[in-house]
Amino acid sequence: MKIYFFGIIIIFYILGFSLDAHALSKEEAITQTFDRIEHRGIENRERETYQPGLFSNITRERVIEKTLGKIEFELAIGIGYLSGYTSYEIDFPWDGYAGKSELKFPFDNWLTGGNISVGYSPFYLNFQGWTNISKKTNGDMEDKDWKGEYLLSSTKSDADGQMVILDVNLLYNFWQGDKPWGDVANIFQKGRLGFLVGYKYENFKYDIIGVRDVLGGGNYNLGEKVLDYKIQYHIPYLGLNLQYFKDAVDKALDTWGVNIWVCGSPYVIAKDRDDHLLRNKVAQGKVKGYGFLMGLNTFFNTKNHWICRLGLDYSDIMADGKQNQYWYGDDPASEDYDDTGDSIEGIDLKIGSSQILFWGLLQYKF
């Protein structure tokens, strides 16, 4: 009877300890874990097998700070340089030949922007925006026309532009390596992997100035606005984000790391409007297509909450649809005929964009 009695007492003691452990708050559990680590270190030191410095840079406050959930808010300002172009191409019949026109509009400009991030691990919501500093672009607008295989015309012009890029995305880190489980010596495993879903909006407006004939060598309408072009991109996207970080052995730096993200857009929509002022003609198009986006950046976190980020973002877009043209006045290119009021619909249209944004951000974490 005494054996059964003591057996029951032992069972209730084990159950009670288990229930108490589950009832502990997250902070209490971490504290008890840390106490066991310290106690184990003392025992090891007594056996002369303790490794000095193994936990010397890990404090109780750091464990709690790194593992307990809290709302994070970050604000950043920065500067960047956008390289690349946006272009459109139309195909049409031309006196029994296949006619083609291609127009390329440069980015090639310095941008200024910022970023706002709000998160509660493992979710992070990010807002980013960029706009050009100078209206004058560093590249030329190009206009080429083919009749069959023959390059009939090739011109270049100066380009003044207005650029707006807005991006909002939600990151969910489904794997985080900075949780206090596993081997004690690997308390801070360095990595995060997450799903990224977002929407990017781009708006580019151009004033095209003058014409320089590449084939004929002549120049005309210099200093005069000859074309007005506008295009908007709507780019929903989804993909993966990978982050690797490492503690810095430095009095000023806390951590540094690398961030890589790769995304695809299965449904890009673009709308453009081209006003050929010299020909009194407006062309409007709408296309649908796809895009590929990726980015790489490195970051340096200081101990006083400042973060420096340097990186580059790349995107490539290809879409096709139809263009409609309308003459609001007489076209000087057609002799002995007044084109006013004429229109052409259903022209095959391709729109593409290739861009690289080199950027740097100075960020503060509240």
Tokens 């801070």 correspond to 188
- Cα separation, 249 vs 240, whole angstroms: 30
Rg of the chain (C-alpha set): 31
Q: How far is CA 330 from CA 210, 211, 226, 275, 336, in A?
A: 20, 20, 15, 14, 10
Reported residue count of the chain is 366
Quick one: pLDDT at residue 66? 54
Task: Give the model confidence (pLDDT) of 157-172 as tens digits.
Answer: 999 999 999 999 999 9
User: Please, are residues 197 and 170 in contact by the beta-carbon 8 Å criterion?
Assistant: yes
DSSP H/E element including 141: strand 136-147
Quick one: pLDDT at residue 112? 98
143 — pLDDT class (breaks 50, 70, 90): very high
Nearest to 124 by CA among 160, 72, 166, 175: 72
- Cα separation, 308 vs 249, whole angstroms: 17
Residue 336 in this model has a pLDDT that exceeds 60: yes
Quick one: pLDDT at residue 139? 92
Task: Give the model confidence (pLDDT) of 80-108 as tens digits.
Answer: 999 999 999 999 988 888 999 999 999 99
Say which CATH architecture domain 70-365 belongs to.
Beta Barrel (2.40)
36 — pLDDT class (breaks 50, 70, 90): low
The domain segmentation of the chain, as residue ranges, is 1-68, 70-365
Q: Global pTM?
A: 0.79
User: Please, are residues 180 and 63 in contact by the beta-carbon 8 Å criterion?
Assistant: yes
Please give the average per-residue pLDDT across 264-293, as a whole number.
97
